[in-house]
A and B are shown apart, each in its own frame.
Chain A
Amino acid sequence: MRRFLRPGHDPVRERLKRDLFQFNKTVEHGFPHQPSALGYSPFLRLMAIGTRSGAIKLYGAPGVEFMGLHEENNTVMQIHFIPDQCQLVTLLDDNSLHLWSLKQHSGASELREEHRFTLKGPPGSPPSATQITAVLPHSSREVLYLGTESGNIFVVELPSFRVLEDRTITSEAVLQRVPEDYCNRRSCELVEALREHPKNPDQILIGYSRGLIVLWDLQNNKVTHHFLGSQQLENLYWQRDGSKFISCHYDGSYTQWPVSSDNRQPEPLENLVPYGPFPCKAISKIYWQTTKNGLPYIIFQGGMPRASYGDRHSISVVHGSQQTAFDFTSRVIDFFIIFSSEPTAEFDDPSAMVVLAEEELVVIDLKTAGWPAVHPPYLASLHCSAITCSHHVSNIPLKLWERIISAGSKQNIHYSNMPWPIDGGTNIAPDPPQRDLLLTGHEDGTVRFWDASGVCLHLLYKLSTVRVFLTDADPNDNMNTLGEDEWPPLRKVGTFDPYSDDPRLGIQKIYLCKYSGYLAVAGTAGQVLVMELNDEDAEHVVDHAEADLLQDQEGYRWKGHEKLKTRDGPVRFEAGFQPFVLVQCQPPAVVTSLALHSEWKLVAFGTSHGFGLFDHQQKRLVFVKCTLHPSDQLALEGPLSRVKSLKKSLRQSFRRIRRSRVSSRKRRGGSGNASEVQEANAKFDQDALQEMELAPVQRKIEARSAEDSFTGFVRTLYFADTFLRDSSRHCPSLWAGTNGGTVYAFCLRVPPAERRMDEPVRAEQAKEIQLMHRAPVVGILVLDGRSTPLPEPLEVAHDLSKSPDMQGSHQLLVVSEEQFKVFTLPKVSSKLKLKLTALEGCRVRKVTVANFGSCKTDDYSENDLAVLTNLGDIQIISLPFLKLQIRYPCIRKEDVSGIASCVFTKYGQGFYLISPSEFERFSLSTKWLVEPRCIVDIPEVTSNNHMHNKSGMENAARKS
């Protein structure tokens, strides 16, 4: 009677399921989307990044990561660590302040929000009275000074956020002693900067936007010095000994001011426009760093000549006669300098500059001559060219791993050797259980190899396929190196380059055989490259073949892009994966599926027109099969006709981007301009709404027919050694599944190794299965006599897998978007099926076999199907009986690109893009879990705050 038990009614199985499956989103890899603020604690040696969506992320030594999310999802404007504490304060664009703490909890530190606070003015006061513009956590750790738009500075107690009204520094008090004529010319306006005196905690420097700077004595509540700046102020910085400070201004100038006890109204020591004499952009932030040798480092953001370089995002470093303007490809959000923070040290001796640009993190080594960049161990810009596909390979053999690292290290010689300077906290996570590679294909024709074993997604090696082809843009043309006498001395840094020279180079499919080191890569213009790992540079000719997938079909015209032109003659390749065979599909449509069999030395590829098999040992095309339906005109015309239908959605998304850009610019200042923009936005929203209402959303209900478009689109290819013809002899076979629900099976004859070069590989069509529901076939799998999926090529040869059972009868699993079906082999009889769409209304987007181990016993593991649906749910389905085990919501169903980007690993983990630059890592397994686990040591001082924080902890906002 067991067979009639409903799923979920078997208690033994239920218990086992709990030991096998568990869903966790564990860590976000990559670079935060839309960063908006940066903070650094020299005490903790931790860096904090805030984003426009209200996330804050802390990073220390590799593996030390924390994440928090403000409930409000508002933009994080500023981040300030409380000096010598495990606490930080964030300011959001809704003018709220949030206190976060790192607390130890069951052996690991956690980031929690403890308190929130919004500054309230007296009743009737305008909102600008309390709009916070500058935050200064005082070194006493007891108070925060909050500069506002009104010019008043409020003092709040920490951690309670109680306003100490009697200590408010009003602009009236400040202006009391200011000379009359100066006062008349400019009122205080908003507080632009607050800086505590480096030696005397009772003095703070206050900078107002119109140029006035005062030194305020906290003990006596009065101004001790007035510095009458004539230019609009941007920022301030103290010299280490407190005898001077430097101010930077809107006109691109900076000014040094002396601070001495005898002079109440000092005159500037030096006023300089570094990139003058023509009008310059504002210098928004400046550092003055002393060194032992006497020459200071002056480091400032911006200040470029307005007319010719106004569009550059630069940070200039000046040290004696050396000057470099680091030129970033995206907007600089903020930066900080890592310098000696020991209070006893006499000099700053800066060691590194950390720059948060909008699209990447750049760290410059200031100690090494030439100021080289430091290779960050995390926060990699995954999207330096847009990601077009990804491929995950688990459990990489050590040998291959070392060879890839060695190839990668040769590419990284221009990086500094400096150890990673942000090294706070201790990583206490266990070592990753195995070496995993994540390969991402990019729009610019590169493939990046990431170490995906642990918490830090680290770039190991970058492969470019561009060199094989002749493209319009010769890489030598756009050299950015400028001559020595160039002014300003710009130097491009960073890797973010979203502009692709030729979209046809885009990588669409990747397949890596970890045992043989063979790599197949396929792209947008029908190109398929087979590569081999070579530890040395080499120059050789890439063999070139064409696969005419239309064959005898006549009268069709490809209206899409042309195929890529290849380079004649030998090409020089650097150490690493070097292509030796290029197959170009004709017509040059996007390669939609790819399979490589390293043991048989065959590569199969499919497009919207058909598929082909190539023998990369003999470098000979074995066969092609056209899968087109005669009426499928669309597929033949190329991608252009498809673009049409996309046009509208593209236009809308562009509008959305434009809108978000506009709203991002509104920053503070709230003048009439911003309200105009808001009005325009509101109008746009209304228009968009009306547009939607005019066309009610309705869906056509129509059965799929053979005449639907894109039925020939090859979705999946699969090699299997199985019983295709009769049950006594198995043979190599190639399986292909199309968008129209057709499965083709080809019998292959691969000559034995000793005659491999002499005899041709032969193929013959053996079967063709048409699923009557005609849904796209997204996965094909053969199960052996023990119902175990067939091993990967060479897996058995390397003793990493049991040989498949070739005695019992094999089964064929065909996964379409709508159903899972198991057929017997060799005679194709349907055995069982699971209908997904008919019952749940969801469709399969991704499917993989994953091995799940029990967390209770080491010796139990089983293979199941991990399935991602178009609703963003993940389902685990048992093999071979196709029973739904468990379902987890994972990705929002509206997040189409997230769903499309998902990759599963062989051990029940997965990745998907949560933004163009970030992978979310999730785990379905109880056994394999990669998540950050780290400790940040808390100094004694916090103990007196403990009682206070208790209540805060309880209503702490949800973390990560």
Chain B
Amino acid sequence: EFRRFSLERSKPGKFEEFYGLLQHVHKIPNVDVLVGYTDIHGDLLPINNDDNYHKAVSTANPLLRIFIQRKEDADYSAFGTDTMTRKKNVLSNVLRPDNHKKKPHIVISMPQDFRPVSSIIDVDILPETHRRVRLYKYGTDKPLGFYIRDGSSVRVTPHGLEKVPGIFISRLVPGGLAQSTGLLAVNDEVLEVNGIEVSGKSLDQVTDMMIANSRNLIITVRPANQRNNVVRNSRTSGSSGQSTESSLPSSTPNILANFLQGEEESDEEDIIIEDSGEPQQIPKAAPTSESLESLTQIELLHESTQNGFLPSSEMNLNHSAGSVSMEYEAQDPDHKSLEEDGTIITL
């Protein structure tokens, strides 16, 4: 069934309100539904939060076509960016789900429930024998779940083959993040941690580095099993000429620049609880900030009578506005290479 109604484009309101409105106009107040819309490319995209709702409203041209489905018989596969290629089928799939009687497919949760847990990065700049794996610990309850040990590996050096000490993955904890990614294995040699070479560092140092970076750990390994390596075209295989050498001194800063951009933002958001209000992320000092964090702030009211002390009159609480301020600054590229290059942030 179709409904048509109007929204004020400049004041779309919140997703919750919109959701309520949909339930209201369809007279299905207690039915859980999935909401989707077709964007300008014809893709069926979900609406499940304020952001994509606002995006949907702003792209309406002028009509916004909304599809709603009951949650229990929703066809999740209909969503996604790939839907463009299947454009023709999309609508029919959605509108006539009985046409789509394949075997009972595995129910994958909605994109809103997804969070990246790992990725292989910098494939284009690394030698084929190496693999750079990013583990996103942030927000995951799963333990990182691996152990490292000392070992030795054979390197090609100017003096011929030499046995050099190295750091290796010694154990994966079942069910841990490291194991579940399938990207790390026992006896993989660890070459770098977040862009820093581990050669010359002790096991304890590398442990500390990994733990310090555990919220967003990027480790470059030489997998013990080299058979699963991606065979690449000539351009990149050129760099694999030095594959036995772990160091890529000249290219390291660039590599870092690639992956540090996003990293710092999600990296650490210290929390402040002011004398009023709730825990909030710490904003970065706006004008002179050198850090790449984006932080927000909330305030929380403390019981001023705690410990049985009277609030002093001099200490009248100064509530700053409780609004969320998200300040992203356009980062200039120099800035980043500076950030990763040393331990230093200069003025």
Q: Do A and B bind each other?
A: yes
In the A-B complex, the 9 residue pairs with the smallest Cβ-Cβ separation, listed nearest first, are: A841-B205, A703-B214, A837-B212, A829-B285, A699-B207, A768-B273, A838-B212, A841-B209, A698-B149
Query: B149's contact among A696, A773, A835, by CB below 8 Å, is which?
Result: A696
Asked whether any CB of chain A lies closer than 8 Å to the CB of B39, the reply is no
Q: Are A725 and B149 in contact (CB under 8 A)?
A: no
Q: Are A841 and B201 in contact (CB under 8 A)?
A: yes
In the assembled complex, which residues on chain A have CB atoms less than 8 Å from the CB atom of B211? 701-704, 837
Query: B291's contact among A698, A764, A775, A831, by CB below 8 Å, is which?
Result: A831
Nearest chain A CB to B338 CB, angstrom units: 6
Q: Are B320 and A3 in contact (CB under 8 A)?
A: no
Q: Count of A residues near B, CB < 8 Å?
A: 66
Tell me the chain A residues, 740-796 only, with Cβ under 8 Å from chain B: 747, 749, 762-773, 775
By beta carbon, the residue of chain B nearest A816 is B212
Asked whether any CB of chain B lies closer than 8 Å to the CB of A840, the reply is yes
In the assembled complex, which residues on chain B have CB atoms less than 8 Å from the CB atom of A834? 343-345
Tell me the chain A residues, 657-714 only, with Cβ under 8 Å from chain B: 696-704
Q: Are A882 and B284 in contact (CB under 8 A)?
A: no
By beta carbon, the residue of chain B nearest A878 is B344
Asked whether any CB of chain A lies closer than 8 Å to the CB of B67, the reply is no
In the assembled complex, which residues on chain A have CB atoms less than 8 Å from the CB atom of B178? 701
In the assembled complex, which residues on chain A have CB atoms less than 8 Å from the CB atom of B291? 830-833
- Residues 257-297 of B, flagged 1 when their CB comes within 8 A of A and 0 if not, give 00000000001111111110001001111101111010101
Asked whether any CB of chain A lies closer than 8 Å to the CB of B309, the reply is yes
By beta carbon, the residue of chain A nearest B289 is A831
Interface residues in chain A, defined as those with a beta carbon under 8 Å from any beta carbon in chain B = 2-7, 623-625, 696-704, 725-726, 729, 731, 747, 749, 762-773, 775, 818-819, 821, 823-824, 827-843, 870-871, 881-884, 893
Q: Are B170 and A696 in contact (CB under 8 A)?
A: yes
In the assembled complex, which residues on chain B have CB atoms less than 8 Å from the CB atom of A824? 285
Nearest chain A CB to B205 CB, angstrom units: 3
Asked whether any CB of chain A lies closer than 8 Å to the CB of B78, the reply is no
Q: Are B149 and A765 in contact (CB under 8 A)?
A: no
10 contacts between A and B (CB under 8 A): A625-B307, A698-B170, A699-B206, A763-B309, A769-B282, A771-B270, A830-B295, A831-B284, A832-B345, A841-B207
Q: Are A624 and B307 in contact (CB under 8 A)?
A: yes
Query: B282's contact among A702, A729, A823, by CB below 8 Å, is which?
Result: A823
Known: A703-B144, A703-B211, A829-B285. A749 touches B205 (CB 8 A): no
Known: A698-B148, A701-B146, A701-B147. A840 touches B205 (CB 8 A): yes
In the assembled complex, which residues on chain B have CB atoms less than 8 Å from the CB atom of A829? 282-286, 289, 295, 297
Q: Are B314 and A729 in contact (CB under 8 A)?
A: yes
Q: Are A838 and B205 in contact (CB under 8 A)?
A: no
By beta carbon, the residue of chain A nearest B334 is A4
A2, B269: Cα distance in complex, Å: 29
Known: A725-B275, A731-B314. A773 touches B343 (CB 8 A): no
Chain B interface mostly: loop
A827, B319: Cα distance in complex, Å: 11
By beta carbon, the residue of chain A nearest B194 is A838
Tell me the chain B residues, 297-314 only, with Cβ under 8 Å from chain A: 297, 302, 304, 306-307, 309-312, 314
Q: Are A772 and B345 in contact (CB under 8 A)?
A: no
Nearest chain A CB to B253 CB, angstrom units: 11
In the assembled complex, which residues on chain A have CB atoms less than 8 Å from the CB atom of B208? 818, 837, 841-843, 870
A697, B168: Cα distance in complex, Å: 11
Q: Are B194 and A772 in contact (CB under 8 A)?
A: no
Q: Are B312 and A698 in contact (CB under 8 A)?
A: no
Query: B290's contact among A749, A827, A831, by CB below 8 Å, is which?
Result: A831
A747, B202: Cα distance in complex, Å: 43
Nearest chain A CB to B12 CB, angstrom units: 31
In the assembled complex, which residues on chain A have CB atoms less than 8 Å from the CB atom of B293? 830
Known: A829-B284, A829-B285. A764 touches B315 (CB 8 A): yes
By beta carbon, the residue of chain A nearest B140 is A703
Nearest chain B CB to A780 CB, angstrom units: 14
Nearest chain B CB to A743 CB, angstrom units: 9
A840, B345: Cα distance in complex, Å: 15
In the assembled complex, which residues on chain B have CB atoms less than 8 Å from the CB atom of A623? 307, 309
In the assembled complex, which residues on chain A have CB atoms less than 8 Å from the CB atom of B112? none
Q: A698-B147, A838-B209 are in contact. List 11 more A-B contacts (CB 8 A).
A: A7-B346, A699-B207, A701-B210, A703-B211, A749-B314, A773-B212, A830-B289, A830-B295, A835-B212, A835-B343, A841-B207
